[in-house]
Structure 1
Amino acid sequence: MGYKTYTCPIARDCGGCEWLAVPYPIQLRRKQEQVEGLLGEMAAADGCELEPIRGMDEPLRYRHKAATPFAHGARGRVLCGFYAAGTHRIVPCRDCLVEDPRARRILGAVAQTAERLHIPPYDEDRGVGVLRHAVVRCGYATDDVLLTLVTRVDELRGAERLVSELRAACPEVTSIVQNVNDRRTNAILGRRCHTLYGPGHMHDRLLGCTFEIGPTSFYQTNPAQTEVLYRLALEGAAGARRVLDAYCGTGTIGICAAAESPDAQVVGVEQVSGAVACARRNAEANGVAQRCRFVAADATAWMAGAGREERFDVVIMDPPRAGSTPEFLAGVAALAPGRVVYVSCNVITQARDLELLRERGYRLTRVAPVDMFPHTKHVESVVTLERR
């Protein structure tokens, strides 16, 4: 029996789904082999089996966050879509196989409305123009939709009419926010936000917990697989009374851990102060604020300072793609928790960090890969370690 494959009319130009033409079972096998190649030897040395990768039943429409740049087109048109691979040439796109069906239509409506209202798109070569990007987040377990318009300038002329027309074209949008990015940079978002319509944020649910998501909040793009990922992390932390949630963002994993276990006390550490404020609101909304404490600090610096006075049964760590630091890992070993749960979006840096933890007295007890981004080469993994 042949495998099912997927086709996209702009796949060659876009390049975002580099494995789209590869049957999904083969994609999963390749990712499993990638994790085995990086973690298999140390898992075997520790007597730990590497589990089969958790894939999706239907690997489509999984991205609940989508974005577009804008550019000048012929005859005053405003172009939107994706950058062609390795360039800043926009490939127009009306629909994307891996995005929530609402997303690309909303982004297209922003371009059409800007064109009608003569709001000039940003020219990155000259550093002029107004509209740089739009980002849309669609609720997974809610009907909330948050639209963020990224502009070069603070003053968005005709903002009221723009909002009115967008609301008419996209009635499903529940919040519209202006984000200001006046830097000459490839980064999409800037630091300042102005709410133009609605509450200025949205809500979604994971594992029965409700989370506030703002324009600059980190929130996983594939919520269905995020629940798989978090469930594995919570299984690694099962029974713990004192939990450290390092690199906690808006507190998602730690709050889910507190909600699952009525005895758990959670400390979350995150360097982005806005995310920490959001984590505190999320803890309050989920009825666990009395058992969750969130600290605005760099995880490595906190571990070397105030963290030395704490005691934890489990450390859950979910660092960025660059991984953790030797100083943080040394701090974890000094705290001597019974278990460490390492959630990673980059198995290469995870393997490096796991070696340091093994040298400091920990052994792997579970390795579970998760496919968060079908049709791409990216793979995530959750590794549980125990103190020897």
Structure 2
Amino acid sequence: MPKQSAPVKKNETITLTFEDLTHEGNGVGKINGYPLFVPNALPGEEATVKVVKANKNFGFGKLLELKTKSEERVEPVCHVHCNGCGLQHMSYQLQLWMKMNQVKNSMKKVAHLEHVPVHPIIGMEHPLHYRNKVQIPVGEKDGKLITGFYQKRSHRIIENTETCTTHNEVINDVVKTVRETANRLGIRAYNEQNHRGVLRHIMVRTGEETKDIMVVIVTRTDKLPHKDELIKELTETYPNMKSIIHNVNAKRTNVILGEKTTVVWGDEYIHDKIGDITFAISAKSFYQVNPSQTKTLYEKALEYADISNNDVAIDAYCGIGTISLFLAQKAKKVYGVEIVPEAISDAKKNARLNGITNADFFVGEAEKVMPWWTSQGLEPDVIVVDPPRKGCDEALLKAMIEMKPKRIVYVSCNPSTLSRDLRILEDGGYETREVQPVDMFPQTGHVECVCWLERKASS
């Protein structure tokens, strides 16, 4: 049979009506059943579109002119277009609907769990300026330092740190101070083409409750030029400055932080609180970037875990012990496992900081450590898992099933891999009881979920 071609051609200009959204927030319109994905378009809108790519089964377009506008279209707060928060043209209610729909579709199409309750997504009252951490590259333009995020699929910096609407406002101000001070002192930006220059990245972390500030200055060089002047400017400008750190990354790499980290002023850690638990956060700690929604997320995880004072719990991918220490407030014993040694060191420090003695932390791959625990007779009542975007390793899922806990609480930042893993757990004898989406990253396409699974009586 002859190869069927697309009904549109590259560079063709067409009129398109949009009827849906992708999980990334692109508008979906169809020509004779052939879908075109177009950024910045909303359902119900009609627009003139230029076809930029036409594959056999779908294509991509560029929005040229809106003929009709959706009532859900709003004026973006930020006009920089760095692609860090690509949903600002949508009302917040539409953003929440889109994310909720993404979770429901994944449950239905990937996990084949059509009847599991997916509760209404928990959004934010004020969905701007929520991020407590930024890692931002430094470049040069017209002989001056610039900071901003990389343009999509490139390493061209789009300047945006003066007004970024997802960072908390202190972070924007601190980045500006570091950049302007370094510029005044003649510190050159790193040039990744010729591997010369000095200043690569600026990282800023803040404590939501404590208002602590940490600045990490990443350079190619072992020496931090004009260190004393930088310290003086930062400490005199920000009374809540608690930590100034120099990180050296001398490699040709896209990795932001190098291996050598030195505290040049103040402490190695800043502190923050979630609920009643205080956390010490180092430069390399994993700590959720939206503190208010993190509290919401963890409270739901605790509710689903339904821990009693006789229960033993495991926290896989425990990080710096955030979920573990919440569990330990109610459980008889908690075991945390994490592959990153620095994170386990931080977890132990956080347990001591809060006077918690019933939580033990171990370095290793959860999928290897947990079978060993089984061989030693450990029988957990509850397992909580919070994996990276790629989801759980299949060996870990198998280990969880073989441990036969009464409940599993699965915290996920990727509905697709979550649904894949739920299907495996369901087939292994567990029933998914509820799913609660939480909007941790407003203005972006990302969505977090907490899932409650119970072991089936027949298992």
TM-score of Structure 1 vs Structure 2, range by shorter chain: over 0.9
Q: 1:177 to 1:45 in 2, by over 3 A?
A: closer
Aligned sequence identity (%): 38
CA offsets, 1:193-219, max 9 Å, x none? 100111121000012210000000000
1:206 aligns with 2:274: yes
CA offsets, 1:29-67, max 9 Å, x none? 111110000114688858531111111111111111122
Residue 326 of structure 2 is matched in structure 1 by 256
Distance 2:84 2:216 in 1: 22
- What SS does the aligned partner of 2:297 have? helix
Residue 292 of structure 1 is matched in structure 2 by 359
Report 1:131-142 matches (<5 A).
131-142=199-210
Q: Contact 2:107 / 2:113 at 8 angstroms: preserved in 1?
A: no
Report 1:145-160 matches (<5 A).
145-160=213-228
The residue identity in structure 2 corresponding to 1:85 is K
Q: Contact 1:52 / 1:368 at 8 angstroms: preserved in 2?
A: yes
1:301 aligns with 2:371: no
Q: 1:46 to 1:15 in 2, by over 3 A?
A: closer
The offset of 1:304, in angstroms, is 3.0
TM-score scaled by length of structure 2? 0.80
The offset of 1:22, in angstroms, is 0.4
Distance 2:407 2:396 in 1: 15
1:108 aligns with 2:176: yes
Distance 1:308 1:250 in 2: 26
Distance 1:22 1:46 in 2: 28
Distance 2:249 2:379 in 1: 41
Report 1:263-342 matches (<5 A).
263-288=331-356, 290-309=357-376, 310-342=378-410
1:92 aligns with 2:159: yes
Unaligned runs of 5+ in 1: none
The offset of 1:5, in angstroms, is 3.5
Larger relative strand fraction: 2
- What SS does the aligned partner of 1:366 have? strand
1:8 aligns with 2:86: no
TM-score scaled by length of structure 1? 0.94
How many residue pairs get matched? Answer: 383
Q: 1:203 to 1:175 in 2, by over 3 A?
A: same
1:83 aligns with 2:150: yes
The offset of 1:156, in angstroms, is 1.7
Distance 1:255 1:9 in 2: 38
Q: Contact 2:206 / 2:213 at 8 angstroms: preserved in 1?
A: yes
Q: Contact 1:11 / 1:17 at 8 angstroms: preserved in 2?
A: no
Higher relative contact order (CA 8 A, sep 6+): 1
Q: 1:362 to 1:123 in 2, by over 3 A?
A: same
The offset of 1:181, in angstroms, is 1.6
Q: 1:313 to 1:306 in 2, by over 3 A?
A: closer
Report 1:219-238 matches (<5 A).
219-238=287-306
**Counterpart among 391, 413, 423 of residue 345 in structure 1:** 413
RMSD between aligned residues: 1.9
Q: 1:282 to 1:355 in 2, by over 3 A?
A: same
Residue 243 of structure 1 is matched in structure 2 by 313
Distance 1:66 1:370 in 2: 21
- What SS does the aligned partner of 1:305 have? helix
The offset of 1:169, in angstroms, is 3.5
Unaligned runs of 5+ in 2: 1-70
The offset of 1:281, in angstroms, is 0.8
- What SS does the aligned partner of 2:246 have? strand
- What SS does the aligned partner of 1:178 have? strand
Distance 2:342 2:410 in 1: 24
- What SS does the aligned partner of 2:417 have? helix
